[in-house]
């Protein structure tokens, strides 16, 4: 899909509009143009470039809506949060899809589509500095929030009862940058929506949530308010269909659900540190090996980190060794003569993973097929098959990772494993293994997203002449 619109197409459409005394409905304008212009923010909860394709919940929702209209998606990222709504109000963008909170002041500038997510704002503090429990404990502290965000309004309302409460509104930062400033001690506190924090906290393990600020708020797409209702009606129908079919929950869960589990503070802190101190020495080998077997390099790197923390000399009590923690048998199978040689280990681990992937039935769709392969790499294909058979016997779907994931731990219970072909297994381990690998992949994707954006030369598109 092309993400950048042709300037010629924009100019031609603007000239067309200029000849009309009464412009057609906005949806027709979009379909005539052949492009849906969506402004968003670059971030893990909105839109970012993965190794091979764009990712993010807002991107997936916008892409689906463009397909619903039968047009191409042109998505571009605002440099600052406060730029989102003026782009829509001025007609430069058709939609702002960036986790925008509905507020009364914003309703004066744009109209909103249906609510698709409810979130809570939380005060963020640095671990070790004492967890505040009330606004009174914030007096005299450096509080910084994003300028133009709904969090400013929350603080203004709180200040009516706590006049000693002060804060700074920063127009030049992102939510992630504010969390980073709290984590490194540059500021004392900030306010962040919980759905954002639960994802990016793995990058900033020194930051924690203290208490909820204000009431729950609603997220929705921002739409132009001074035109006809055709776009709002199509957006409403689109989200109604996604809700009815369960697709909206599936999209959101792909990005958020696994972060609602317990947070591994020590492990996440070490991972972020090792990205800088260890990964650079092996990154090129991960990239080359991944290209050979047709997967993204971040996946191989994440699996290696789960195995050894990128330590080429790692050894387990059972004798598996090296950065990919290969057994002697596996090393011989994939042509590795020296398991502690990091390049050999990475290449051998990739070849073995490719063998495992080929065993997974081709009928299983992605991404479930990939999760099965990762689990089999950890626990063995035979035990995975036992869990799939058990899943089917209990009425679950053996081709769906979520269903099999629930049954894998049962392989450690005698009443279940005594009826399986391969017997006992530490069935909870592949569950944690896949969960951790998926988290590590997400962090690696996000931390390399800026490089990907520069490599693709993604910039905001040329302005669209207002049509009203």
Return d(Cα 265, Cα 204) in angstroms, integer.
9
Catalytic residue among 58, 307, 347, 385: 307
pLDDT in tens, the chain (468 residues): 333 333 334 434 444 445 556 789 999 999 999 999 999 988 778 887 654 467 789 999 999 999 999 999 999 988 888 899 999 999 999 999 999 999 999 999 999 999 999 999 999 999 999 999 999 999 999 999 998 889 999 999 999 999 999 999 998 887 888 998 999 999 999 999 998 898 777 768 899 999 999 999 999 999 999 889 999 999 999 999 999 999 999 888 877 765 554 455 556 778 888 998 999 999 999 999 999 999 999 999 999 999 999 999 998 755 789 999 998 889 999 999 999 999 999 999 999 999 999 999 999 999 999 999 999 999 889 999 999 999 999 999 999 999 999 999 888 777 788 788 888 788 888 998 999 999 899 888 887 765 555 555 544 444 443 333
Closest CA to 305 of 336, 283, 327, 338: 283
Q: What residues contact 303, with CB distance under 8 A and at least 6 apart?
A: 324, 349, 353, 374, 377, 437
307 is catalytic: yes
Return d(Cα 91, Cα 438) in angstroms, integer.
39
Return d(Cα 425, Cα 372) in angstroms, integer.
16
Written as one string, the DSSP assignment of 112-173 is E----EEEEEEEEEETTS----SGGGGTTS-BEEETTSHHHHHHHHHHHH-TT---EEETT-
CA atoms within 13 Å, Cβ hemisphere of 138: 27
Q: What fold does the segment set 7-117+220-257 form as a domain?
A: D-Maltodextrin-Binding Protein; domain 2 (3.40.190)
Would you tell me which CATH number, out of the four given (1.10.530.10, 3.40.50.2300, 3.30.70.1400, 3.40.1580.10), belongs to the domain 267-450?
1.10.530.10
CB 148 within 8 A of CB 194: no
Q: May I ask the CATH architecture of the domain 118-216?
A: 3-Layer(aba) Sandwich (3.40)
Name 73's bridge partners. Answer: 36
Domain borders along the chain are: 7-117+220-257, 118-216, 267-450
Instruction: Specify the pLDDT at position 414.
Output: 72
Instruction: Specify the pLDDT at position 412.
Output: 79
Peptide linkage before 53 cis (omega within 30 of 0): no
Return d(Cα 444, Cα 395) in angstroms, integer.
36
CB 72 within 8 A of CB 111: no
Instruction: Specify the pLDDT at position 3.
Output: 39
Write b or e for each residue in 423-460: b if 16 or more Cβ atoms lie within 10 A of its Cβ, otherwise e: eebebebbbebbbbbbbbbbbbbbebbeebeeeeebee
CB 427 within 8 A of CB 433: no
pTM of the model: 0.64
Torsion of Cα atoms, 287 then 293 then 296 then 302, to 10° = -80
CB 41 within 8 A of CB 81: yes
Asked if domains 118-216 and 267-450 share a fold, the reply is no
CB 134 within 8 A of CB 141: no
With H, G, I as helix, E, B as strand and everything else as coil, classify residue 106.
Answer: helix
Map tokens 């909103």 to a residue.
112
Q: 247-256 vs 57-69: helix axis angle to the nearest 10?
A: 150
């Amino acid at each position: 899909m092309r993400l950048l619109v042709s300037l010629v197409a924009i100019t031609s459409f603007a000239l067309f509009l200029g000849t009309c005394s009464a412009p057609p409905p906005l949806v027709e304008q979009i379909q005539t143009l052949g492009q849906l212009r969506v402004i968003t923010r670059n971030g893990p909860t909105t839109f970012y470039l993965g190794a091979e394709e764009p990712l993010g919940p807002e991107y997936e929702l916008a892409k689906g809506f463009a397909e619903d209209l039968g047009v191409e998606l042109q998505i571009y990222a605002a440099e600052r949060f406060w730029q989102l709504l003026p782009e829509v109000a001025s007609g430069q963008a058709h939609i702002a899809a960036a986790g925008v909170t509905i507020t009364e002041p914003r309703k004066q500038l744009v109209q909103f589509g249906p609510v698709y997510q409810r979130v809570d704002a939380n005060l963020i503090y640095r671990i070790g500095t004492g967890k505040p429990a009330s606004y009174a404990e914030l007096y005299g502290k450096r509080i910084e929030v994003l300028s133009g965000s709904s969090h400013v309004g929350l603080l203004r309302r709180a200040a009516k009862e706590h006049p000693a409460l002060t804060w700074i509104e920063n127009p030049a930062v992102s939510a992630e940058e504010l969390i980073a400033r709290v984590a490194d001690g540059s500021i004392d506190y900030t306010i962040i929506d919980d759905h954002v924090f639960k994802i990016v906290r793995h990058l900033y393990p020194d930051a924690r949530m203290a208490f909820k600020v204000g009431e729950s708020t609603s997220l929705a797409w921002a739409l132009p308010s001074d035109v006809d209702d055709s776009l709002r009606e199509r957006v409403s129908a689109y989200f109604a269909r996604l809700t009815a079919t369960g697709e909206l929950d599936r999209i959101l869960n792909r990005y958020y659900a696994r972060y609602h589990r317990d947070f591994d503070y020590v492990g996440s802190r070490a991972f972020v540190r090792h990205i800088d101190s260890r990964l650079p020495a092996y990154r090129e080998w991960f990239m080359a090996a991944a290209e050979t077997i047709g997967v993204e390099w971040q996946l191989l790197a994440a699996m290696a980190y789960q195995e050894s923390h990128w330590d080429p000399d790692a050894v387990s009590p059972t004798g598996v060794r090296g950065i990919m923690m290969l057994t002697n048998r596996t090393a011989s199978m994939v042509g590795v003569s020296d398991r502690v040689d990091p390049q050999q280990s990475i290449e051998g681990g990739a070849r073995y993973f490719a063998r495992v992937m080929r065993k997974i039935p081709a009928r299983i769709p992605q991404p479930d097929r990939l999760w099965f392969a990762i689990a089999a790499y950890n626990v063995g294909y035979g035990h995975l098959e036992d869990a799939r058979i058990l899943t089917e016997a209990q009425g679950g779907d053996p081709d769906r990772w979520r269903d099999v994931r629930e049954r894998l731990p049962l392989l450690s219970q005698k009443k279940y494993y005594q009826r399986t072909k391969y017997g006992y297994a530490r069935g909870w381990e592949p569950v944690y293994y896949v969960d951790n690998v998926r988290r590590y992949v997400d962090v690696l994707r996000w931390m390399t997203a800026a490089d990907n954006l520069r490599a693709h030369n993604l910039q905001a598109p040329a302005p669209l002449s207002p049509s009203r």
